[in-house]
Amino acid sequence: MGDKLLTLEEWANANYASPPGIKTLQRWARERKIYPPPEKHGKEYKVQPGARYLDPTTPIRSLPSSPTPASKPRLADRI
């Protein structure tokens, strides 16, 4: 982790044309809506430059599940 940590305000200014207020940024940090999560250093949060806001309304893309082989009978069929 050789990256220099940024304050929430520095991170917001680098990632948003119109950055959210400091209270909103602090709430996002407390609620773990920024990934990787910010670290609290004294009275302020520090965040990695490549961190991203996680929108709680967007579903997480899951990995495709492995297809079940057709030769394996289902439990209901075996009973």
Residue ranges of the domains in the chain?
A: 6-49
Alpha helices in 1-79 (DSSP H): 8-15, 22-30, 75-78
| CATH code for residues 6-49 | 1.10.1660.20
What's the pTM? 0.68
Counting as low any pLDDT under 70, the low residues of the chain are: 1-2, 60, 62-70
CB 19 within 8 A of CB 13: yes
Tell me what pLDDT residue 2 has.
Answer: 58
